Amino acid sequence: MRFRDHISAFMLPLAALILIPMILLLVARDARISWEISSTCNSILLLTGAFLLLIGVWLMVVTIKMFYQLGKGTLAPWAPTQNLVMTGIYLRTRNPMISGVISVIIGEGLIFSSWAILLWGLIFLIGNHFYFIFSEEPRLHKRFGEEYLLYKENVPRWIPRLSPWNPNHKSVE
């Protein structure tokens, strides 16, 4: 894996998390940052947004590290992992990295009180949902075969399982 592949792979989340929200804030002009803790509603939105942002960043860091170390690849479709990552958070949900990105976008929307950024989060989720169904999942099935099908049958796409899936137990739960 070349260094250039890793750098270019980071452009995807940077565009989704920084560039597009900045453009939306400039164009929509709907941001209302209130750092005053006098309003309970402002405090709740700010704290919830910060919490979602931190959780999202944590998910992205953990999953990118797993892609690099265990999957021997990147998050980008042009430099994919060589191994199917089926450990840690990937035993609860198949797409924790995108869940992390969506969490950050929603956090940004709440912090900035921006409907435009929240709408971007919804568009990003819907776009990725269809991308995974019609592009990513068929490619993973082609690359990893029955191993991926068993994983797909047992681990949900978005909503995490309460308990991690045990790959040694081969039946669908």
The CATH number assigned to the domain holding 144 equals 1.20.120.1630
For residue 153, what pLDDT is reported?
96
For residue 22, what pLDDT is reported?
83
In a domain, residue 166? The reply is: no
Q: What does the pLDDT profile of the chain (173 residues) look like in tens digits?
A: 566 655 666 677 777 777 788 888 788 876 665 555 556 677 889 999 999 999 999 999 999 899 989 999 877 777 788 999 999 999 999 999 999 999 999 999 999 889 999 999 999 999 999 999 999 999 999 999 999 999 999 999 999 999 999 988 765 55
In a domain, residue 50? The reply is: yes
Look up the pTM and report it.
0.85
In a domain, residue 171? The reply is: no
- Evaluate whether 152 touches 137 at the Cβ level (below 8 Å): yes
For residue 19, what pLDDT is reported?
75
In a domain, residue 86? The reply is: yes
In a domain, residue 109? The reply is: yes
| Other beta carbons within 10 Å of 39 | 11
In a domain, residue 27? The reply is: yes
In a domain, residue 47? The reply is: yes
Look at the chain and report how many structural domains it folds into: 1
Supply the DSSP symbol for 72: S
Please enumerate in sequence order all residues whose Cβ is within 8 A of that of 142, keeping only pairs 6 or more positions apart, or say none. Answer: none
CA distances from 55 to 3, 17, 62, 66, 97 (A): 27, 14, 11, 16, 11
Write down how long the chain is.
173
3-state SS record for 21-38: HHHHHHHHCCCCCCCCCC
For residue 150, what pLDDT is reported?
96
Supply the DSSP symbol for 142: H
In a domain, residue 167? The reply is: no
Structural domain boundaries, residue 77? 3-154
